[in-house]
Amino acid sequence: MNTQVLTILNAEEMLTKMVSVIEGISKEFPHIKEEYDQALLVLRRELGDEKIKPFLDAINRRCEADLLFCGSLGYQANLNNFRDPIARTFMDVDFEEYLRVEVLQRMPQRQEAEAEIDAFYHSLSNEQKGVYDAISSYLVSLELDLTKLAHYAGFMFANDMLKYTEPGYVPNCVLTLRYQSFMSDWFGTNFKMWREEKKEAEGLSA
């Protein structure tokens, strides 16, 4: 059995890895993150670490909630397709529907983090709220990209893992290629080639 399949990361480690992936494959995200980092420096200088640290923790907890929720949906989508291959798949509906965005936004841990982020924003002066615009753009971009990437990662993980847990499981190659094509279009990169290059790099570093 390929033990790499069973590598377990905690939510914080997974989030760091996912953000790194987005930075590497998205053409727009690095610039958005650079402006976000600059805005944080300004606010940190004016407000101090005591106020910034809880805010960053809330951002991380919101992102972790997105990551775990959407990742599990991707895994379930793969399993559901195997068990009912003629049913309509997640690729046949809008991404907000297959990511169950409305349900995600009502998850308690996400609502709690979102409330803390909102409270931080409303505590700022008008001038500081102008600086916050770059942070807001980062959070919107990260939410859009992270939820999709987490769902995709969960789906691809299931391709490797379900053969050990679901009798008779065989990955749906057609659906996998269709999903890779969708992700390639979204991020503007060849997802199939990127994934193969990533696997090769991990093999060399092992």
What's the confidence (pLDDT) of residue 1? 43
Summarised one tens digit per residue, pLDDT across range 159-176 is 999 999 999 999 999 999
| 8 A C-beta contact, residue 129 and residue 39 | no
Q: What is the pLDDT of residue 9?
A: 55
Residue 196 has pLDDT above 80, yes or no: no
Q: Percent of the chain beyond pLDDT 90? A: 51
Q: What is the pLDDT of residues 56-113, one digit of tens each?
A: 999 999 999 988 889 999 999 999 999 998 877 888 877 777 778 778 888 899 999 9
Q: What is the pTM of this model?
A: 0.84
According to the model, what pLDDT value does residue 199 have?
A: 52
